[in-house]
Structure 1
Amino acid sequence: MDIDFSLIIYHFYQLGIAFALALPIAYNREYKSDNAGLRTFPLVAISACAFMLVGREVYQDGEAEARVMYGIITGIGFIGGGAILKNSERVAGTATAAGIWLVGAIGVTVAYARYEISLVLCALGFFIFQFSDPMKKHCGVKEPDE
C-alpha cells in the first residue's frame, strides 16, 4: 500500500481549517459559559470534518455519504444534549448546544471544501455569541442563555 503524501497534506490542511474556524466560537464559549469551550468546540469541528473526509474517501456515492453526514448530525445532537442543564427555575446551555452543532456543520462544510459556507457560519456564530448578550439585556431578558 503506497502512502499518498499529497492527500495527507490536503487532509491536514482541511482539518486545520476546521480547527481554526471553530476557535473564535470556542473562545467566546470558554469565557462566557461554564459548559463547553476551547477543547470541545475544536474537537467537534475536526471530528465532524474527519468523519466526513473518511466517508468521502470510502464511499464514492452520495447516498452513503449522506448516511455518514446523518450519523455526524445525530452524534453531535447527543453531545449538545449533554450541554443542556435544566432545573426548576431555568434551562441553561441551549446556546452552547447550538454552538456545538454549528461547529459540527463547519467541520462538514470544510470536508466538502465549501469554505465560503464555513466562513459565513464561523462569522455569524461568533457574532451571535459575542453580541447577543447586550441585545438580550436591551430587550429585558434577565438571565442570558449560556
Structure 2
Amino acid sequence: MNLDWNLILHNLYHLAIAFALAIPIALNREVSAKGAGLRTFPLVAVASCGFMLVGIDVLKTTDAESRVIYGIATGIGFIVGGAILKTKGSVSGTATAGN
C-alpha cells in the first residue's frame, strides 16, 4: 500500500483553507461573546471540507457527490437546530444558527 503524498498535501491544503476562512467569523463571535465561537466554526468548516474531499476522491460520480453535500447540509441543519434555544416565550441563538 503506497501513500499518494500529492493527494495528502492537496487535501491538507484545502483543509487549511477551510480553517483559515472560518477563523475570522469565529474570532468575531468569540470577541462578541456569542454562542458559537473559536471551537465550533473551524470544527464545522474543517469537518465539512474533509467529508467533501473524501466524497470527491472516493465517489467518482456527481450523483454520489451531491448525496455527500446533502448529508453535510443535513448535519449542519441538525447543529443549527441545537443552537436555537426557546425558553419562556423568548427565542435566542438565531444569529448563531444563521451563521
CA distance in 1, matches of 2:30, 2:88: 25
Instruction: Give the aligned length.
Output: 99
> Which residue matches 2:75?
75
CA distance in 2, matches of 1:84, 1:5: 42
Give the drift of 1:21.
0.2
CA distance in 1, matches of 2:32, 2:89: 20
**2:60 aligns to what SS in structure 1?**
coil
**1:77 aligns to what SS in structure 2?**
helix
State the Cα deviation string for residues 36-69 of structure 1 (Å, max 9, x = none): 1100100000000000000001110010000010
1:35-74 correspondence runs (5 A): 35-74=35-74
CA distance in 1, matches of 2:51, 2:98: 20
Give the drift of 1:22.
0.2
| % same residue | 61
State the Cα deviation string for residues 22-46 of structure 1 (Å, max 9, x = none): 0011111112244111001000000
Q: Are residues 1:11 and 2:4 paired?
A: no
The structure showing larger relative contact order (alpha-carbon pairs under 8 Å, at least 6 residues apart) is: 1
Per the normalisation by structure 1, the TM-score is 0.65
Give the drift of 1:93.
0.8
For 1:11, give the aligned amino acid.
N
Per the normalisation by structure 2, the TM-score is 0.94
**2:36 aligns to what SS in structure 1?**
coil
Q: Are residues 1:88 and 2:74 paired?
A: no
